[in-house]
Amino acid sequence: MTDQAAEPVDLDSVTDEEQLVDDDGAQAGLDAVDEQLIAQLAGRARANGLDLTGENGLLAQLTKRVLESALEGEITDHLGYQAHDPAGRNGGNSRNGHRS
C-alpha cells in the first residue's frame, strides 16, 4: 500500500458497459489502475472509520455491488433488453421493478 491520501471513488460512476479488455480483446487481469483503485478504496474506508471486513465493512459492500451488477447483467441477457426499455413492457417475461 502507499502512503498517499485516498481519493474519493464513486462506485456508482462505474457503468455496466465498462469492461476491462486488453488491446487484443482478452479480459485484462489486475493492472496498475486496478491496484490503485483497490488502494484508494481501502484508504478511504480506513479514513472514514469503515471496517475492511465484517457485516457492514468494505468487503461486504463491494461483494454486494459485484453480485448485484452480475445478476443485473444476467437478467438483461436472459430477457434480451435493458432495464426501463419499452420493449419489455406487457411481455409475459418482464422485469417487475422490484429487488429483494
Domain boundaries, the chain: 11-88
pLDDT at 87: 82
| Predicted confidence (pLDDT) per residue in 21-51, tens digit | 555 555 556 787 888 999 999 999 999 999 9
- Can you say how many angstroms the Cα of residue 20 is from the centroid of all Cα atoms in its chain? 12
Would you say residue 7 has pLDDT above 80?
A: no
- Name the phi and psi angles at 69, rounded to 5: -65, -45
C-alpha Rg value of the chain to the nearest Å: 17
Q: What is the 3-state secondary structure (H, E, C) of the chain?
A: CCCCCCCCCCHHHCCCCCCCECCCCCECCCCHHHHHHHHHHHHHHHHCCCCCCCCCCHHHHHHHHHHHHHHHHHHHHHHCCCCCCHHHCCCCCCCCCCCC
Question: What's the predicted TM-score (pTM) here?
Answer: 0.56
Higher pLDDT, 29 or 72: 72
